Each structure stands twice: as structure tokens, then as C-alpha cells.
Structure 1
Amino acid sequence: MHQKDIDDTWTDGQIWNYAAENNLTIITKDADFSNKIILREPSPKVIHIRFVNMKMNEFHAAVSKLWNEVLLLNKDFTCKCIR
């Protein structure tokens, strides 16, 4: 599910709360979400995939290639890095 499928006008805070309330995982290229984990509890799962200056369609294509690893990260929910 993509944010635009719910409401593409939502703020990061609204996305965060929706994910936490619905036991969803946020997959993002935005450091704001991974930084919130430190400051806010309870937190939803957040998978922060770091890419350099990437457009959203390029990000989706890259995540599609890494999807099996993303699923494993979500299942294990441990802090790991994919390079």
C-alpha cells in the first residue's frame, strides 16, 4: 500500500500514527521516520532504505528489486543494513 492509496495529503505524523495503529511497516527513503523511532514510542516498524537523491519512481523500482530482503527485515524486525 502506498501513502497515496490512503491519503497523499497526510503529514509524516499522520502516516506514523496510522502505521502504528494498524500494525503496518513504513518503508521509506526519508530519515525523518527512522529518527522518530528514537523519540516516539510506541513506534511502527520502519525500514529506512538509504539511496542518494533518488526520484520516487526510481525508489519504487529499487525496492522492488530488494523486496525479498525487505520482507525478511520486516519479519525479523532487527536493525540491519542492506547495501
Structure 2
Amino acid sequence: MAKFLIDVNLPYYFSLWKSEDYIHQQDIDDTWSDSQIWRYAQENNLTIISKDADFSNRILLKQPPPKVIHIRYGNMKMREFFLTTTKVWEQVLALNQTHKLVNVFKDHLEGIN
């Protein structure tokens, strides 16, 4: 059963997310609004992974579920995205267990309760 919902604005073909723990929005409905994504994640107890600040803004005002992992790199090439994300992903998952929002920057991580 999936634990994470990957927003449509993130790569579909990404080896880190190719397991039963991850579902990409494209596999559900890539036309959903942010509210529909939020509701689906909430109903299925999923953590949303996104580059969209709307989700991190919303979780600051609410309590989980869902939780949010906000990838805040800005624009970068796919190879750099892959290397940067792979290097910190285990730490991101650990923070996700204890925080409702994890902000992932190029040079540091931030967990918010």
C-alpha cells in the first residue's frame, strides 16, 4: 500500500520512487486540483511530495494527515535533481516520521511540527 503521493510537478520516471510505497499523481488523475490531491492524500493517509508551496502553506494551518514533503530546489537539471535527492532521501524519510512538513533545500533539510 502506498505511503507517498508524488505531485504531478515532479518526475514520473525516478528510480527512488519506483516501489509500492509511492504513487504518482499521473497514475491516478493528472488533472486534479490541489484540493483534490489534498483530499485523496488525507483519505488514504499519504504524505504529499511536491514542489508546490501551496501544500506546505496548507499544512502549516492544519494537522496531518496528510503530511507534506516540499522539495524546494528551484530549477535544476534532472541529473542534479536525482543526485541531490538521492543523497538526502533517507534523512527526509526519517524527518517525515516525526514532522508534519519537511522542507528539502539543496543545502539543508528542515522539519516543522
TM-score by length of 1: 0.74
Q: Does 1:2 align with 2:24?
A: yes
CA distance in 2: counterparts of 1:80 and 1:44, whole angstroms = 12
Q: Does 1:13 align with 2:18?
A: no
CA distance in 2: counterparts of 1:29 and 1:7, whole angstroms = 18
How many pairs are equivalent? Answer: 82
CA distance in 2: counterparts of 1:10 and 1:36, whole angstroms = 17
Q: Does 1:50 align with 2:72?
A: yes
Q: Residue in 1 aligned with 2:52?
A: 30
Distance 1:51 1:45, change over 3 A: same
TM-score by length of 2: 0.58
Higher helix share: 1
RMSD: 2.6
Higher strand share: 2
- Structure 2: segments with no counterpart, 5+ residues: 1-22, 109-113
Among all aligned residue pairs of Structure 1 and Structure 2, give the percentage whose two residues are the same amino acid.
Answer: 57
